Structure 1
Amino acid sequence: MKKFLITLMMVSLIVLAACGSSDEAEGSEEGGEDKGTISFAVTPWTSTVPPTKVAKIILEDMGYEVEETQADVSSTFVGLSRGDLDVFMDSWMPAHELQFEEYEDSIEMVATSYEDADSGLVIPTYVEGIEKVSDLKGREDEFNNKIYGIEEGASATEMMRDLIEEADLDLELITSSEGGMLAQAQKEMNSDNPVIFYGWRPHTMFNKYDIEVIEDDYGYFETSSVHVLANNGLKDKAPDAYEFLQNWSIPLEDVEEMIVKIEDGQDEEEVAQEWIDEHQDQVDNMLNN
């Protein structure tokens, strides 16, 4: 009898353990597979937000946890090279070419988001007689001898400094955040004053203001293409996420439309989810579904 009871207890324990394992597996299935964490670099530019949010939602649906790390360009490339950051959705070429070449042993260009993104020195269209950078020579005082730019550390900031020097322009580059730069530019345009600042597409500035990019006849600013970067470890760490990002693309006009919605006060992730819902065929293609 004693042996029978011991045997019965052991069988009961095995059954309970099996039930527990089954419940655990079922709970895991219901909650979605946890595949680990992917870290995105987010630079302080409006163009970075929509593609990052769209990719974030898709990756979370795939079972990943996604972290967003605010960083300037220099910190982004260093973080990617060290493996502290996994992905950056908004790398501009050729503007970021030097940083990419410096870290190309540890960073990979995974996909092209979109092409034909203009950038350079921007003026209001009411300023007459200036179509290219060399036309600024001798007229610097009309602009209070200032050009307004984005933050220190950005490739565009160094390119503007080099351009000012080569073109021998009597202009001081005033660096700030994107928001600070645009606030100063808007202040001048509200008074119909001539103003020079840095501009790029995609950006709502071209929807809000009557402005134009002037031709860079010194060759510093070219039409850009925007790329997805990843550290070299992502392919092994998250192969299905890597494959999704390899297939990534999004129209420039869609990014601008999402930026407008976000700046009008709509929640960033709601805007991204709307895009996903309205472009499910494109999302399926990126996921190879």
Structure 2
Amino acid sequence: MKKVVLTMMTALLVMFIVGCSQQSDEANGDEAGAEEKQTITLGVTPWTSTVPPTEIAQIILEDMGYNVEQTQADAGSTYIGLSRGDIDVFMDGWFPVHDVYIEKYSDTIEETAVSYPEADSGLVVPTYMEDVNSIEDLKGIEANLSNEIYGIEEGASITGEIDGLIESYELDVTQVNSSEGGMIAQAMRKMESEEPVVFYGWRPHTMFNKFDIKVLEDPKGIFETASVKVITNNEIQETAPDAYAFLSNWSISIDDVEEMIVKIEEEEIPAEEVAQEWIDNNQDKVDEMLGE
């Protein structure tokens, strides 16, 4: 009888040890799987043009098996984050305006792909300012503008470009900086009563769908047609090579981006839904970017 009891106890002990070993192996496997699911951080500036490509990239990267997070920051802080490795990807780099950041952080970041090559930007006025068609036409009418030009946030490199433009054209105006939404709100208040107003405009943006505005000619060539690019930190090429390959193949049309901005801003459709719709309607394009 003692032998039978001893045998049963031995068998139970073996089963217990095996069970614990299997649970440990499964736990270790789960931990390894969690470690393998890397997080990619996308930088997001407070510009409407940044949202659609960022949301599309996030959905695709998540489908590839990555955790994806977004970090909100102004342009300068976004590039600092890229250079430090706190941010992995920025989908809305504007060039040549952002050349200063590439030059400053050339050891740690790179221009990875072109989203779209021809994005117009410059000082804009409402079309009812019929006699103002060039930046030079602002000379002498600064008082009518309350000696102000409206621009976006101070952290944006375009802010310095506009200050340089004011000096170059010898305009008696001061740039008033605020968020993109704040700038548009200030301009709208002026346009509602058909007062003279000058502010910074660019495509893609709903302002060209919502308002009757025109881009002023720039005889000195201070504003250039922008090329919008994907920027990555140098580490992602080694840590997430398949994600880097996808981002290297990235491209999207400016018309598609502008159409999505209208849906998000005007029709109030959630950005994630708009991005998924674009993916569903452009699967061939997505497959091409994924190398499939």
Aligned match for 1:61, one of 57, 60, 63 = 63
TM-score with structure 1 length normalisation? 0.92
Q: Secondary structure at the match of 1:63?
A: coil
Matching of residues 107-146 of structure 1 within 5 Å: 107-146=109-148
Give deviations 1:84-136, integer Å, cap 9, x for gaps.
Answer: 11110000000101111111111011100001100010011111122221121
Q: Secondary structure at the match of 2:112?
A: strand
Contact 1:120–1:213 (8 Å) recurs in 2: yes
Q: Secondary structure at the match of 1:158?
A: helix
Q: Equivalent pairs: percent with the same residue?
A: 57
Residue in structure 1 matched with residue 281 of structure 2 by the alignment:
278
Letter in structure 1 aligned against 2:14: M
Letter in structure 2 aligned against 1:80: L
> For residues 244 and 117 of structure 1, what CA distance do their matches in structure 2 show?
23
> For residues 141 and 249 of structure 2, what CA distance do their matches in structure 1 show?
47
> For residues 19 and 216 of structure 2, what CA distance do their matches in structure 1 show?
76
Give deviations 1:164-221, integer Å, cap 9, x for gaps.
Answer: 0111001111111100100011111111111100000000000000111111112221
Residue in structure 2 matched with residue 260 of structure 1 by the alignment:
262
Q: Secondary structure at the match of 1:113?
A: strand
Check if 1:287 corresponds to 2:290.
yes
Residue in structure 1 matched with residue 14 of structure 2 by the alignment:
10
Aligned match for 1:149, one of 151, 154, 167 = 151
After superposition, the Cα gap between the structure-2 partners of 1:23 and 1:67, relative to the gap in structure 1 and judged at 3 Å, is closer
> For residues 246 and 3 of structure 1, what CA distance do their matches in structure 2 show?
65
Contact 1:34–1:63 (8 Å) recurs in 2: no
What displacement does 1:39 show? Answer: 0.7
Q: Unpaired runs of 5+ in structure 1?
A: none
> For residues 110 and 183 of structure 1, what CA distance do their matches in structure 2 show?
34
After superposition, the Cα gap between the structure-2 partners of 1:12 and 1:153, relative to the gap in structure 1 and judged at 3 Å, is closer
> For residues 158 and 275 of structure 1, what CA distance do their matches in structure 2 show?
35
What displacement does 1:37 show? Answer: 0.5
> For residues 195 and 224 of structure 1, what CA distance do their matches in structure 2 show?
24
What displacement does 1:142 show? Answer: 2.4
Contact 1:150–1:181 (8 Å) recurs in 2: yes
> For residues 116 and 181 of structure 2, what CA distance do their matches in structure 1 show?
24
Contact 1:33–1:63 (8 Å) recurs in 2: no
Contact 1:117–1:224 (8 Å) recurs in 2: yes
Matching of residues 217-256 of structure 1 within 5 Å: 217-256=219-258
Q: Unpaired runs of 5+ in structure 2?
A: none
TM-score with structure 2 length normalisation? 0.91
Residue in structure 2 matched with residue 104 of structure 1 by the alignment:
106
What displacement does 1:34 show? Answer: 5.1
After superposition, the Cα gap between the structure-2 partners of 1:76 and 1:14, relative to the gap in structure 1 and judged at 3 Å, is same
Aligned length: 286
Letter in structure 2 aligned against 1:134: E
Give deviations 1:120-162, integer Å, cap 9, x for gaps.
Answer: 1001111112222112111222222210000002111110100
Matching of residues 69-218 of structure 1 within 5 Å: 69-218=71-220
RMSD of aligned residue pairs (Cα, Å)? 2.3
> For residues 34 and 20 of structure 2, what CA distance do their matches in structure 1 show?
24
